[in-house]
Amino acid sequence: MQFARLSLATFCGTTLLLAGCSGGTPWGATPQNIPVPHIENIPSVLDAGTTAGAQRLAERVRAKLAAEPRLASSNLRVEGFESGVIILNGSPPSAEERSLAVQTARQVPGVRDVVDRMASP
């Protein structure tokens, strides 16, 4: 009998507490202004946080570097890491091509930072 009264009191108290709330949670803290990525950027956002995604991102950077005519003959190595970090290794023929490689890698969607470990020409 004592347990039934306690259960009924707990139920009534919880019901009254929740009835007085106006938000989506008991304390009224409904989240607002949550940033939502653009639909075209979703693959790059998802890729940035995983190891497999980092490898796919590195492949996209390699393809972008290979598509650049001035860098096609360069022997550059690209490594991808989580959070969109790309490391460029190799030895470009000139300082201009080195700068172009870094700029080109930064243009790939999902790349957040480019670390230049290329040898000086």
Domains and CATH numbers, the chain: 50-121 (3.30.1340.30)
pLDDT of residue 22: 55
Q: Give the pLDDT confidence score for residue 85 in this predicted structure.
A: 92
Is pTM, for the whole model, over 0.85?
no
Q: What is the mean pLDDT of each run of 10 residues along the chain (121 residues)?
A: 59 64 56 64 57 89 93 88 91 92 94 92 69
Q: Which two tokens stand for residue 101?
A: 């490689």
Distances (CA, A) of 109 to 44, 58, 84, 92: 6, 11, 9, 23
Q: What is the pLDDT of residue 98?
A: 93
For every residue of 27-91, DSSP letters joined together read T-----------GGGHHHHHHTTSHHHHHHHHHHHHHHHHHSTTTTTS-EEEEEEGGGEEEEEE-
Distance in angstroms (rounded) separating the CA atoms of residues 81 and 79: 7
